[in-house]
Amino acid sequence: MFFTKDHKTIPMFDPWACLGPKRRRLMEESWAGLFRKEIFDELPISKLRPFFSSGTGRPSKELYAAAGAIVLQQMHDLSDEETVYQVAFNQQWQYALDIRQTSDEATYLCEKTLWNMRSIMMEHGLDESVFQGVVEKLGRVFGVDFSRQRLDSVHIQSNMKRLGRIGIVARSIRGFLVNLKRQHPELAEKVSREIIERYVAEKAMGCFSLVKPSESEKTLKQVCRDLFALVSQFKAAPMVQTMHSYRLLERVLREQCTVVEAHGDDSCEQVAVRANKEICSDSLQNPSDPDAGYDGHKGQGYQAQIMETYTQEEDPEKKAATLNLITHVVLEPAHVSDAHAVMPAIESTQARGSAPKEVVCDSLYGSQENLQKAQEQGVEILSPVMGSGSENTESLGSFQYGDRGEVTVCPRGNKPLQVKERKHRHTAVFSCEQCASCPVFEQCAVKKGKRFYRLRYDDKARRCAQRRVTQETAEFKDRYRWRAGVEATMSALDRRTGLKHLRVRGMKAVRFCAVLKAAAINIIRATAVRRARRATSGPLQHVLLHLRDRYEVVKERCLSFFDGLIRFCFAGIVPGVFRPKITF
């Protein structure tokens, strides 16, 4: 049964009075105080209502506390068992989750409850709702400026073993044979006894981890032949084709091998092992995590695209009092190029009202196509050009151009005799007298012709050349240097929340962890900013902040008292219905 408590109304008697003023102040200034005051009531508990009965069955655990515990679990990178202990015995966790009683019913949360709640939130994308709620609330409370943001990616390793090609094929075969025996034992009896002993028997898989380098090619051919034999044996069995493990077999065969026909006879099909360079980066890396990809630089796993706000503040005190929020998190396999991440990031932040006007990112994001699309959305992308241009390319950026991209003046101040344009290609004609006597002709992009000197280029080359000239200026370097700050965010995600090495696998589970860990970093940062603001405030401001906090507490306690008094007085007249709203 759907069960929640009213956490907005403060009880008549303070359940945390036992802490004392000093410990209470420490609690309020910690992440627990910020989480309870700003985040706890914003959790999307109403979206959980369809998964619980409204009036029948045993009441669920208090859903605000259960969902909040899952967020705190990702913040502190804890296992389910460790999370249960924290909820049961950690007073800071109980304060953050507004657990006011000390009974087992209030403080005990079993691992199965955590697992069920996490499964519901994971399957229905509630992690995104939590993240968006955190960004919107903290952005409003701390007055975050979303106009400047920076974008980068971080590599994530899921909980899977790093396998070679032999291990991938062998484990895929073993997984299929085990599932086949469990689901269709009559069909499993038809599998060759030799294959069963090689992959399913006790300690059978150990031989594949002890293969000598000189015998690896031979062993790979053997396991690929076994793979092809199993796929061919059951390709006409409808019940087997619906099995997930069999579809993985077909995928591995398609990615690792090439099936050839001998003499045009289908019965004489043979399998050939693909060369290493022919294996795509999106191929299966481990049968236990089929969603993972491969990056040639960082290896197997996933990558998360992270975009955050930043401020160009040099003063350390003002910088510490300014909140930088992560505004966008998207998970994708490791083989996906960063070039495809710019526009989704801009569009998602625009939909949530936190769109930037300027995005700083590295060269992989700054393609000409992305720059043009972002400009149409009113966003400037600050990114250097990929690669290092030649001398001729650099000189092309020194020319002056008109509105249509035509050359108007060369770097030496000479105007072209004629300008031609055909679609996106341009040609500028210069006189022989001017170019022949030019002292920098050897470094110029203009080439000598039969009668004239000509400069040929297209719009893309011109834009790249102009960007290369611009990125060497002091103004560009001063603006672009703020991109390096995003590396501190990636480090914090790893050190504080353990993002780079997760204890889960699969796209949904890894995405769930990545999104909630990004929300956790926002909470941790907001806690530090609030503490810095209070530390730098003057004595009068400090007193006013303290009085304001005490006023809110007294106000809520008075409202709670009068609310309970009126309900008690009218209980006999309108039982269970009358609940007046009192405001100051």
> What are the structural domain ranges in the chain?
1-124, 143-159+296-384+471-536, 165-278, 391-466, 538-584
pLDDT at residue 128 tops 90: yes
Q: Look-up: residue for tokens 């069920």?
A: 116
With a CB cutoff of 8 Å and minimum separation 6, the contacts of 508 are 122, 123
pLDDT (0 to 100) of residue 216: 84
Tokens of 435: 């170019």
- Report which listed range, 144-148, 388-392, 468-472, 539-543, is most confident: 144-148
Distances (CA, A) of 54 to 46, 68, 82: 12, 21, 31
Q: What percent of the chain has pLDDT over 70?
A: 88
pLDDT at residue 578 tops 50: no
pLDDT tens-digit map of 49-101:
999 888 888 888 899 999 999 999 999 999 999 999 999 999 999 999 999 88
pLDDT tens-digit map of 25-60:
999 999 999 999 999 998 999 999 999 888 888 888
Q: Are strands 380-382 and 358-360 parallel, antiparallel or unpaired?
A: parallel
Tokens of 179: 């599932």
First-residue to last-residue Cα distance in the chain: 35
Half-sphere exposure of 140 (CA within 13 A, CB side): 10
Name the band, by pLDDT with cuts 50, 70 and 90, for residue 539.
Answer: low
Asked if 183 and 190 touch (Cβ cutoff 8 Å), the reply is no
What is the average pLDDT score of the chain? 86
Name the band, by pLDDT with cuts 50, 70 and 90, for residue 581.
Answer: very low
pLDDT (0 to 100) of residue 579: 45
> Three-state DSSP class for 405?
coil
Q: Look-up: residue for tokens 């203009």?
A: 446
Cβ count near 488 (within 10 Å): 10
With a CB cutoff of 8 Å and minimum separation 6, the contacts of 214 are none
Q: Are strands 148-156 and 358-360 parallel, antiparallel or unpaired?
A: parallel
Name the band, by pLDDT with cuts 50, 70 and 90, for residue 511.
Answer: very high
pLDDT (0 to 100) of residue 395: 72
Euclidean distance between CA atoms 380 and 360, whole angstroms: 9
DSSP letter, residue 39: I
pLDDT at residue 252 tops 90: yes
H or E stretch covering 555: helix 539-569
Q: What CATH number is given for 143-159+296-384+471-536 in this structure?
A: 3.30.420.10
**Mean per-residue pLDDT, 102-114:** 91
Euclidean distance between CA atoms 325 and 352, whole angstroms: 14
Euclidean distance between CA atoms 149 and 346, whole angstroms: 10
Q: What share of the chain is helix, strand, coil (3-state, %, to 5)?
A: 55, 15, 35
Query: Where are any strands of DSSP class E within 292-417?
Result: 293-295, 299-309, 326-333, 358-360, 380-382, 400-401, 407-409
pLDDT at residue 8 tops 80: no
Backbone phi, then psi, for 440, in 5-degree steps?
-110, 25
> What is the Rg, in whole angstroms, of the alpha carbon atoms belonging to the chain?
32
Angle, alpha carbons 266-269-275 (nearest 5°):
145
Q: Look-up: residue for tokens 């031609």?
A: 420
Asked if 346 and 359 touch (Cβ cutoff 8 Å), the reply is yes
pLDDT tens-digit map of 190-227:
999 888 888 887 666 666 666 777 788 888 898 899 99
